[in-house]
Structure 1
Protein backbone atom coordinates (compact mmCIF):
# COMPACT_ATOMS: atom_id res chain seq x y z
CA UNK A 1 0.00 0.00 0.00
CA UNK A 2 1.23 3.46 -0.86
CA UNK A 3 1.38 5.68 2.23
CA UNK A 4 -0.20 9.09 1.94
CA UNK A 5 0.58 12.43 3.56
CA UNK A 6 4.32 11.95 4.03
CA UNK A 7 6.58 14.93 3.47
CA UNK A 8 9.31 13.55 1.21
CA UNK A 9 11.63 16.39 2.18
CA UNK A 10 11.74 15.10 5.77
CA UNK A 11 13.11 11.77 7.05
CA UNK A 12 10.91 8.92 8.23
CA UNK A 13 11.52 7.09 11.49
CA UNK A 14 10.64 3.39 11.52
CA UNK A 15 10.26 1.97 15.04
CA UNK A 16 10.51 -1.75 15.82
CA UNK A 17 8.24 -4.01 17.87
CA UNK A 18 6.96 -2.12 20.94
CA UNK A 19 5.02 -4.99 22.60
CA UNK A 20 3.29 -2.82 25.16
CA UNK A 21 6.45 -1.00 26.32
CA UNK A 22 4.78 2.41 26.36
CA UNK A 23 7.30 4.28 28.49
CA UNK A 24 10.23 3.06 26.41
CA UNK A 25 8.46 4.17 23.22
CA UNK A 26 7.77 7.59 24.72
CA UNK A 27 11.42 8.13 25.64
CA UNK A 28 12.63 6.90 22.25
CA UNK A 29 10.44 9.45 20.46
CA UNK A 30 11.83 12.13 22.77
CA UNK A 31 15.30 11.27 21.40
CA UNK A 32 14.35 11.87 17.76
CA UNK A 33 15.52 15.18 16.26
CA UNK A 34 11.99 16.50 15.78
CA UNK A 35 10.52 14.50 18.66
CA UNK A 36 6.71 14.40 18.33
CA UNK A 37 6.79 16.22 14.99
CA UNK A 38 8.66 13.27 13.46
CA UNK A 39 7.17 11.18 10.66
CA UNK A 40 6.83 7.81 12.40
CA UNK A 41 5.98 4.34 11.13
CA UNK A 42 5.57 1.41 13.52
CA UNK A 43 6.47 -2.10 12.33
CA UNK A 44 3.53 -3.74 14.09
CA UNK A 45 3.39 -5.83 17.29
CA UNK A 46 2.43 -2.80 19.30
CA UNK A 47 0.69 -5.17 21.71
CA UNK A 48 1.17 -8.28 23.90
CA UNK A 49 3.71 -9.39 26.49
CA UNK A 50 4.32 -5.86 27.86
CA UNK A 51 2.08 -4.14 30.41
CA UNK A 52 0.71 -1.16 28.44
CA UNK A 53 -0.62 -2.36 25.09
CA UNK A 54 -3.78 -0.28 25.36
CA UNK A 55 -1.76 2.86 26.06
CA UNK A 56 0.58 2.17 23.12
CA UNK A 57 -2.31 1.94 20.66
CA UNK A 58 -3.89 5.07 22.12
CA UNK A 59 -0.60 6.91 21.58
CA UNK A 60 -0.33 5.71 17.99
CA UNK A 61 -3.90 6.77 17.21
CA UNK A 62 -3.71 10.15 18.95
CA UNK A 63 -0.50 11.10 17.12
CA UNK A 64 -1.62 9.62 13.80
CA UNK A 65 1.42 7.37 13.50
CA UNK A 66 1.52 5.12 10.46
CA UNK A 67 1.65 1.42 11.26
CA UNK A 68 1.66 -1.96 9.55
CA UNK A 69 -0.14 -5.03 10.88
CA UNK A 70 1.93 -7.30 13.11
CA UNK A 71 1.30 -10.97 13.72
CA UNK A 72 0.18 -10.22 17.30
CA UNK A 73 -2.42 -7.74 16.08
CA UNK A 74 -3.59 -10.38 13.61
CA UNK A 75 -3.99 -12.90 16.46
CA UNK A 76 -6.00 -10.37 18.47
CA UNK A 77 -8.26 -9.61 15.51
CA UNK A 78 -8.89 -13.33 15.00
CA UNK A 79 -9.61 -13.82 18.70
CA UNK A 80 -12.30 -11.13 18.56
CA UNK A 81 -13.62 -12.44 15.21
CA UNK A 82 -12.83 -9.23 13.33
CA UNK A 83 -11.16 -11.16 10.50
CA UNK A 84 -11.67 -14.68 9.13
CA UNK A 85 -10.02 -17.33 11.27
CA UNK A 86 -6.85 -19.09 10.17
CA UNK A 87 -6.85 -21.21 13.32
CA UNK A 88 -4.24 -19.06 15.06
CA UNK A 89 -6.52 -16.82 17.11
CA UNK A 90 -6.99 -19.45 19.82
CA UNK A 91 -3.33 -19.12 20.88
CA UNK A 92 -3.47 -15.35 21.36
CA UNK A 93 -4.01 -15.38 25.15
CA UNK A 94 -1.01 -17.65 25.77
CA UNK A 95 1.19 -15.59 23.43
CA UNK A 96 0.99 -12.33 25.31
CA UNK A 97 -2.71 -11.63 24.85
CA UNK A 98 -3.39 -12.03 28.57
CA UNK A 99 -1.20 -9.02 29.34
CA UNK A 100 -3.00 -7.04 26.65
CA UNK A 101 -6.42 -7.87 28.10
CA UNK A 102 -5.17 -6.81 31.53
CA UNK A 103 -4.02 -3.46 30.13
CA UNK A 104 -7.54 -2.84 28.79
CA UNK A 105 -9.06 -3.88 32.10
CA UNK A 106 -6.91 -1.30 33.90
CA UNK A 107 -6.97 1.48 31.35
CA UNK A 108 -9.77 1.36 28.85
CA UNK A 109 -12.36 -1.33 29.34
CA UNK A 110 -14.55 -3.01 26.75
CA UNK A 111 -15.35 0.21 24.88
CA UNK A 112 -11.68 0.91 24.32
CA UNK A 113 -11.02 -2.62 23.04
CA UNK A 114 -13.64 -2.29 20.33
CA UNK A 115 -12.46 1.21 19.42
CA UNK A 116 -8.94 -0.11 18.94
CA UNK A 117 -10.06 -3.19 17.03
CA UNK A 118 -11.68 -0.90 14.45
CA UNK A 119 -8.32 0.85 14.02
CA UNK A 120 -6.30 -2.38 13.91
CA UNK A 121 -8.48 -4.03 11.28
CA UNK A 122 -7.66 -1.21 8.85
CA UNK A 123 -3.87 -1.55 9.16
CA UNK A 124 -2.07 -2.50 5.94
CA UNK A 125 0.39 -5.39 5.79
CA UNK A 126 3.00 -3.27 4.05
CA UNK A 127 3.69 0.38 3.33
CA UNK A 128 5.72 1.83 0.48
CA UNK A 129 7.03 5.35 0.97
CA UNK A 130 8.26 7.44 -1.94
CA UNK A 131 11.45 8.46 -0.16
CA UNK A 132 14.68 7.13 -1.67
CA UNK A 133 18.09 6.37 -0.18
CA UNK A 134 21.41 7.14 -1.88
CA UNK A 135 20.96 4.09 -4.13
CA UNK A 136 17.50 5.23 -5.24
CA UNK A 137 15.66 2.58 -3.20
CA UNK A 138 12.21 3.47 -1.92
CA UNK A 139 11.23 2.57 1.63
CA UNK A 140 9.22 -0.63 2.20
CA UNK A 141 7.97 -1.23 5.75
CA UNK A 142 6.64 -4.63 6.80
CA UNK A 143 6.29 -6.55 10.05
CA UNK A 144 8.01 -9.74 8.93
CA UNK A 145 10.77 -10.09 6.35
CA UNK A 146 8.77 -8.88 3.37
CA UNK A 147 11.43 -8.45 0.71
CA UNK A 148 11.23 -12.00 -0.77
CA UNK A 149 7.50 -11.45 -1.39
CA UNK A 150 7.74 -7.93 -2.75
CA UNK A 151 7.15 -8.85 -6.39
CA UNK A 152 4.01 -10.82 -5.44
CA UNK A 153 3.01 -8.50 -2.59
CA UNK A 154 -0.62 -8.15 -3.58
CA UNK A 155 -1.11 -11.93 -3.59
CA UNK A 156 1.23 -12.88 -0.73
CA UNK A 157 0.77 -9.96 1.64
CA UNK A 158 0.09 -12.21 4.66
CA UNK A 159 3.54 -13.76 4.22
CA UNK A 160 5.01 -10.28 4.67
CA UNK A 161 3.56 -10.28 8.19
CA UNK A 162 4.72 -13.74 9.28
CA UNK A 163 7.94 -14.37 7.31
CA UNK A 164 11.17 -14.77 9.27
CA UNK A 165 14.79 -14.29 8.26
CA UNK A 166 15.70 -17.95 8.80
CA UNK A 167 13.24 -18.97 6.07
CA UNK A 168 15.36 -17.32 3.36
CA UNK A 169 18.88 -17.13 1.91
CA UNK A 170 19.96 -13.79 3.30
CA UNK A 171 23.08 -13.46 1.17
CA UNK A 172 21.02 -13.79 -1.99
CA UNK A 173 18.28 -11.47 -0.74
CA UNK A 174 20.85 -8.84 0.20
CA UNK A 175 22.10 -8.73 -3.40
CA UNK A 176 18.87 -8.90 -5.40
CA UNK A 177 17.55 -5.78 -7.12
CA UNK A 178 14.08 -4.98 -5.85
CA UNK A 179 14.22 -1.19 -6.02
CA UNK A 180 13.14 -0.95 -2.38
CA UNK A 181 14.77 -1.06 1.04
CA UNK A 182 12.80 -3.22 3.49
CA UNK A 183 12.68 -2.22 7.16
CA UNK A 184 10.94 -4.72 9.42
CA UNK A 185 10.64 -6.16 12.95
CA UNK A 186 9.40 -9.61 14.06
CA UNK A 187 12.85 -11.24 14.27
CA UNK A 188 14.63 -10.28 17.50
CA UNK A 189 18.24 -9.20 16.91
CA UNK A 190 21.07 -8.61 19.37
CA UNK A 191 22.10 -5.72 17.13
CA UNK A 192 20.28 -4.02 14.27
CA UNK A 193 20.96 -5.99 11.09
CA UNK A 194 21.49 -3.74 8.04
CA UNK A 195 22.33 -4.94 4.52
CA UNK A 196 22.13 -3.25 1.12
CA UNK A 197 18.47 -4.27 0.76
CA UNK A 198 16.98 -4.55 4.23
CA UNK A 199 17.20 -3.76 7.95
CA UNK A 200 15.88 -5.91 10.81
CA UNK A 201 15.24 -3.53 13.73
CA UNK A 202 13.46 -5.56 16.45
CA UNK A 203 15.98 -5.44 19.30
CA UNK A 204 13.81 -7.25 21.84
CA UNK A 205 12.71 -4.45 24.15
CA UNK A 206 10.01 -6.53 25.85
CA UNK A 207 12.44 -9.36 26.64
CA UNK A 208 14.44 -7.23 29.07
CA UNK A 209 14.23 -9.88 31.82
CA UNK A 210 16.08 -12.50 29.79
CA UNK A 211 18.05 -10.60 27.15
CA UNK A 212 20.87 -8.23 28.05
CA UNK A 213 20.79 -4.87 26.30
CA UNK A 214 17.09 -5.21 25.40
CA UNK A 215 16.00 -1.96 23.78
CA UNK A 216 13.64 -0.29 21.34
CA UNK A 217 15.10 0.88 18.03
CA UNK A 218 14.19 3.49 15.43
CA UNK A 219 15.79 3.69 11.98
CA UNK A 220 15.90 7.07 10.26
CA UNK A 221 15.28 6.83 6.51
CA UNK A 222 16.94 7.54 4.15
CA UNK A 223 20.09 8.08 6.24
CA UNK A 224 19.69 4.72 8.08
CA UNK A 225 20.86 6.40 11.26
CA UNK A 226 19.89 4.43 14.37
CA UNK A 227 18.25 5.73 17.56
CA UNK A 228 17.82 3.45 20.58
CA UNK A 229 16.23 3.48 24.01
CA UNK A 230 16.88 0.86 26.68
CA UNK A 231 13.82 -0.66 28.33
CA UNK A 232 12.33 1.37 31.16
CA UNK A 233 9.47 0.53 33.50
Structure 2
Protein backbone atom coordinates (compact mmCIF):
# COMPACT_ATOMS: atom_id res chain seq x y z
CA UNK A 1 0.00 0.00 0.00
CA UNK A 2 2.66 2.51 0.98
CA UNK A 3 4.77 1.78 -2.09
CA UNK A 4 1.82 2.19 -4.43
CA UNK A 5 1.07 5.55 -2.85
CA UNK A 6 4.65 6.74 -3.25
CA UNK A 7 4.50 5.85 -6.93
CA UNK A 8 1.53 8.19 -7.34
CA UNK A 9 3.25 11.16 -5.76
CA UNK A 10 4.38 13.86 -8.13
CA UNK A 11 7.11 15.25 -5.94
CA UNK A 12 8.70 13.26 -3.12
CA UNK A 13 12.47 13.56 -2.98
CA UNK A 14 15.35 12.89 -5.30
CA UNK A 15 17.12 9.52 -5.04
CA UNK A 16 19.84 11.31 -3.10
CA UNK A 17 19.79 12.41 -0.40
CA UNK A 18 17.76 9.82 1.45
CA UNK A 19 15.05 10.91 3.85
CA UNK A 20 15.36 8.98 7.12
CA UNK A 21 12.53 9.38 9.62
CA UNK A 22 12.73 8.04 13.17
CA UNK A 23 9.77 7.09 15.35
CA UNK A 24 9.33 8.22 18.97
CA UNK A 25 12.75 7.87 20.64
CA UNK A 26 11.77 8.82 24.22
CA UNK A 27 15.29 9.03 25.61
CA UNK A 28 16.43 5.67 24.19
CA UNK A 29 19.88 6.83 23.14
CA UNK A 30 21.54 3.41 22.81
CA UNK A 31 18.79 2.15 20.54
CA UNK A 32 18.99 5.28 18.38
CA UNK A 33 22.74 4.83 18.01
CA UNK A 34 22.33 1.16 17.11
CA UNK A 35 19.58 1.94 14.60
CA UNK A 36 21.69 4.60 12.88
CA UNK A 37 24.55 2.11 12.67
CA UNK A 38 22.27 -0.25 10.74
CA UNK A 39 21.17 2.52 8.38
CA UNK A 40 24.64 4.05 8.02
CA UNK A 41 23.51 7.59 7.09
CA UNK A 42 25.60 9.61 4.67
CA UNK A 43 26.34 13.28 5.24
CA UNK A 44 23.96 14.28 2.44
CA UNK A 45 21.07 12.27 3.91
CA UNK A 46 18.28 14.09 5.74
CA UNK A 47 17.39 12.66 9.15
CA UNK A 48 14.21 13.65 11.00
CA UNK A 49 12.58 12.62 14.27
CA UNK A 50 8.77 12.61 14.53
CA UNK A 51 9.05 14.20 17.98
CA UNK A 52 8.76 12.86 21.53
CA UNK A 53 12.46 12.12 21.55
CA UNK A 54 12.64 13.05 25.24
CA UNK A 55 11.09 11.79 28.53
CA UNK A 56 10.34 8.27 29.81
CA UNK A 57 13.68 6.78 28.67
CA UNK A 58 17.08 6.69 30.31
CA UNK A 59 18.95 9.53 28.59
CA UNK A 60 16.84 12.35 27.16
CA UNK A 61 19.63 14.91 27.35
CA UNK A 62 21.98 12.45 25.69
CA UNK A 63 19.49 12.06 22.85
CA UNK A 64 19.33 15.83 22.32
CA UNK A 65 23.13 16.04 22.33
CA UNK A 66 23.34 13.20 19.83
CA UNK A 67 20.76 14.76 17.54
CA UNK A 68 22.55 18.11 17.62
CA UNK A 69 25.93 16.50 16.93
CA UNK A 70 24.58 14.49 14.00
CA UNK A 71 22.39 17.22 12.47
CA UNK A 72 19.17 15.29 13.03
CA UNK A 73 16.10 17.44 12.51
CA UNK A 74 12.85 16.97 14.40
CA UNK A 75 9.28 18.14 14.59
CA UNK A 76 7.72 19.17 17.86
CA UNK A 77 6.13 16.43 19.94
CA UNK A 78 3.70 16.84 22.81
CA UNK A 79 6.38 15.97 25.38
CA UNK A 80 8.77 18.65 24.13
CA UNK A 81 5.88 21.13 23.93
CA UNK A 82 4.89 20.41 27.54
CA UNK A 83 8.34 21.31 28.85
CA UNK A 84 8.50 24.44 26.71
CA UNK A 85 5.07 25.53 27.92
CA UNK A 86 6.10 24.96 31.53
CA UNK A 87 9.22 27.09 31.05
CA UNK A 88 7.20 29.85 29.40
CA UNK A 89 4.88 30.10 32.41
CA UNK A 90 7.89 30.03 34.74
CA UNK A 91 9.67 32.84 32.90
CA UNK A 92 6.57 35.01 32.86
CA UNK A 93 6.03 34.33 36.57
CA UNK A 94 2.54 33.09 35.78
CA UNK A 95 0.58 30.61 37.82
CA UNK A 96 1.82 27.29 36.51
CA UNK A 97 -0.85 24.63 36.31
CA UNK A 98 1.45 22.20 34.49
CA UNK A 99 2.60 19.35 36.70
CA UNK A 100 5.93 17.70 35.94
CA UNK A 101 6.87 14.17 36.90
CA UNK A 102 10.29 13.32 38.35
CA UNK A 103 11.74 12.47 34.95
CA UNK A 104 10.66 15.79 33.46
CA UNK A 105 12.08 17.68 36.44
CA UNK A 106 15.37 15.85 35.98
CA UNK A 107 15.50 16.79 32.29
CA UNK A 108 14.93 20.48 33.06
CA UNK A 109 17.63 20.39 35.72
CA UNK A 110 20.13 18.92 33.23
CA UNK A 111 19.14 21.16 30.35
CA UNK A 112 21.62 23.74 29.06
CA UNK A 113 21.21 26.62 26.62
CA UNK A 114 22.02 24.50 23.56
CA UNK A 115 19.35 21.96 24.50
CA UNK A 116 16.73 24.63 25.06
CA UNK A 117 17.68 26.37 21.81
CA UNK A 118 17.21 23.11 19.92
CA UNK A 119 13.77 22.55 21.42
CA UNK A 120 12.62 26.12 20.86
CA UNK A 121 13.44 25.90 17.14
CA UNK A 122 11.36 22.76 16.51
CA UNK A 123 8.70 23.22 13.82
CA UNK A 124 5.23 21.72 14.10
CA UNK A 125 5.63 20.02 10.72
CA UNK A 126 8.18 19.46 7.99
CA UNK A 127 7.40 18.91 4.31
CA UNK A 128 9.54 17.20 1.70
CA UNK A 129 7.61 17.44 -1.52
CA UNK A 130 4.41 15.46 -0.96
CA UNK A 131 5.72 13.94 2.26
CA UNK A 132 4.58 15.61 5.50
CA UNK A 133 6.04 14.81 8.91
CA UNK A 134 4.08 15.60 12.07
CA UNK A 135 4.04 14.13 15.55
CA UNK A 136 0.38 13.28 16.10
CA UNK A 137 -1.82 13.68 13.06
CA UNK A 138 -4.01 15.87 10.88
CA UNK A 139 -7.71 16.53 10.64
CA UNK A 140 -9.18 16.73 7.17
CA UNK A 141 -9.44 20.36 6.16
CA UNK A 142 -6.40 21.53 8.08
CA UNK A 143 -4.17 23.94 6.17
CA UNK A 144 -0.58 23.70 7.35
CA UNK A 145 0.33 27.13 5.99
CA UNK A 146 -2.21 28.73 8.32
CA UNK A 147 -2.25 27.15 11.78
CA UNK A 148 -3.87 28.56 14.89
CA UNK A 149 -2.57 27.66 18.36
CA UNK A 150 -5.57 25.35 18.77
CA UNK A 151 -4.74 23.54 15.54
CA UNK A 152 -1.14 23.11 16.65
CA UNK A 153 -2.28 21.42 19.85
CA UNK A 154 -4.42 19.07 17.77
CA UNK A 155 -1.52 18.17 15.49
CA UNK A 156 0.66 17.33 18.50
CA UNK A 157 -1.95 15.21 20.28
CA UNK A 158 -4.35 13.86 17.68
CA UNK A 159 -5.24 10.21 17.90
CA UNK A 160 -8.96 9.85 17.40
CA UNK A 161 -11.69 11.77 15.59
CA UNK A 162 -15.47 11.61 15.95
CA UNK A 163 -18.01 10.76 13.26
CA UNK A 164 -17.56 14.28 11.84
CA UNK A 165 -13.78 13.97 11.66
CA UNK A 166 -13.14 16.30 14.59
CA UNK A 167 -10.50 15.83 17.28
CA UNK A 168 -11.49 14.05 20.46
CA UNK A 169 -9.35 13.23 23.47
CA UNK A 170 -7.93 9.76 23.99
CA UNK A 171 -10.55 9.07 26.64
CA UNK A 172 -13.26 11.08 24.90
CA UNK A 173 -16.55 9.35 24.28
CA UNK A 174 -17.84 9.20 20.74
CA UNK A 175 -20.27 6.77 19.18
CA UNK A 176 -18.11 6.30 16.10
CA UNK A 177 -14.57 7.02 17.23
CA UNK A 178 -12.00 6.46 14.48
CA UNK A 179 -8.23 6.72 14.33
CA UNK A 180 -7.48 9.88 12.38
CA UNK A 181 -5.35 8.17 9.70
CA UNK A 182 -8.22 5.82 8.84
CA UNK A 183 -10.22 8.77 7.49
CA UNK A 184 -7.44 11.19 6.46
CA UNK A 185 -7.89 12.22 2.82
CA UNK A 186 -4.26 12.98 1.94
CA UNK A 187 -4.93 16.67 1.27
CA UNK A 188 -1.70 17.71 3.01
CA UNK A 189 0.40 14.93 1.54
CA UNK A 190 1.41 11.49 2.74
CA UNK A 191 1.92 11.81 6.51
CA UNK A 192 4.66 10.14 8.52
CA UNK A 193 3.80 10.33 12.21
CA UNK A 194 4.37 8.93 15.69
CA UNK A 195 2.49 9.56 18.97
CA UNK A 196 0.23 6.49 19.08
CA UNK A 197 2.53 3.57 19.71
CA UNK A 198 1.98 0.06 18.46
CA UNK A 199 4.09 -3.08 18.34
CA UNK A 200 3.94 -2.91 14.55
CA UNK A 201 4.19 -0.17 11.94
CA UNK A 202 0.71 1.03 10.95
CA UNK A 203 0.25 1.70 7.24
CA UNK A 204 -2.80 3.58 5.97
CA UNK A 205 -3.74 4.86 2.53
CA UNK A 206 -2.30 8.33 3.16
CA UNK A 207 -0.20 7.89 6.31
CA UNK A 208 2.20 5.65 8.18
CA UNK A 209 2.72 5.47 11.95
CA UNK A 210 6.22 4.53 13.07
CA UNK A 211 6.11 4.72 16.87
CA UNK A 212 6.72 1.09 17.80
CA UNK A 213 7.17 1.48 21.54
CA UNK A 214 10.92 1.30 22.03
CA UNK A 215 10.69 2.89 25.47
CA UNK A 216 8.22 0.15 26.44
CA UNK A 217 10.63 -2.62 25.50
CA UNK A 218 9.65 -3.10 21.86
CA UNK A 219 11.34 -1.50 18.82
CA UNK A 220 12.67 1.79 17.50
CA UNK A 221 11.65 2.20 13.87
CA UNK A 222 13.02 4.26 11.00
CA UNK A 223 11.43 4.77 7.59
CA UNK A 224 14.16 5.21 4.96
CA UNK A 225 13.07 6.79 1.67
CA UNK A 226 15.57 6.65 -1.17
CA UNK A 227 13.06 7.77 -3.80
CA UNK A 228 9.34 7.51 -4.42
CA UNK A 229 10.00 4.02 -5.75
CA UNK A 230 12.28 2.78 -3.00
CA UNK A 231 11.69 2.67 0.72
CA UNK A 232 12.52 0.35 3.59
CA UNK A 233 11.65 0.00 7.24
CA UNK A 234 14.61 -0.51 9.58
CA UNK A 235 14.14 -1.46 13.22
CA UNK A 236 16.17 -1.86 16.39
CA UNK A 237 14.98 -3.98 19.29
CA UNK A 238 14.88 -2.27 22.67
CA UNK A 239 17.72 -3.12 25.01
CA UNK A 240 15.32 -2.98 27.94
CA UNK A 241 13.83 -6.01 29.62
CA UNK A 242 10.07 -5.90 29.25
CA UNK A 243 9.67 -7.20 32.80
CA UNK A 244 11.41 -4.07 34.10
CA UNK A 245 9.15 -1.65 32.23
CA UNK A 246 6.01 -0.01 33.51
CA UNK A 247 4.01 1.17 30.52
CA UNK A 248 2.63 4.66 31.04
Q: TM-score, normalised by structure 1?
A: 0.76
Q: Paired residue for 1:219?
A: 223
Q: Paired residue for 2:183?
A: 172
CA distance in 2, matches of 1:202, 1:86: 34
Task: Determine if contact 2:181/2:204 at 8 Å carries over to the other structure.
Answer: no
CA distance in 2, matches of 1:21, 1:101: 17
Q: Paired residue for 1:127?
A: 126
Q: Secondary structure at the match of 1:227?
A: strand
Tell me if 1:196 matches 2:200: no
Q: 1:88 to 1:78 in 2, by over 3 A?
A: same
Relative to total residues, which structure has the larger helix share, 1 or 2?
1
Structure 2 unmatched runs, 5+: 1-12, 162-167, 169-177, 241-248
Aligned residue-pair number: 205
CA RMSD, aligned part only?
Answer: 2.9
Q: Paired residue for 1:148?
A: 140
Specify which of 31, 39, 60 is matched with residue 38 of structure 2. 31
Tell me if 1:185 matches 2:194: yes
Q: Paired residue for 1:228?
A: 235
**Structure of larger gyration radius:** 2
Q: Paired residue for 2:5?
A: none
Structure 1 unmatched runs, 5+: 1-5, 105-111, 131-137, 209-213
Q: 1:71 to 1:203 in 2, by over 3 A?
A: same
Alignment of 1:1-233 (within 5 A): 9-34=16-41, 38-81=45-88, 90-93=98-101, 96-98=103-105, 100-101=107-108, 104=110, 112-130=111-129, 138-146=130-138, 148=140, 150-151=142-143, 154-155=146-147, 156-165=151-160, 167=168, 168=178, 170-173=181-184, 176-178=185-187, 180-208=189-217, 214-221=218-225, 222=228, 223-232=230-239
Q: TM-score, normalised by structure 2?
A: 0.72
Q: Paired residue for 1:108?
A: none
Q: In the TM superposition, what is the alpha-carbon distance from 1:232 to its structure 2 partner?
A: 1.9
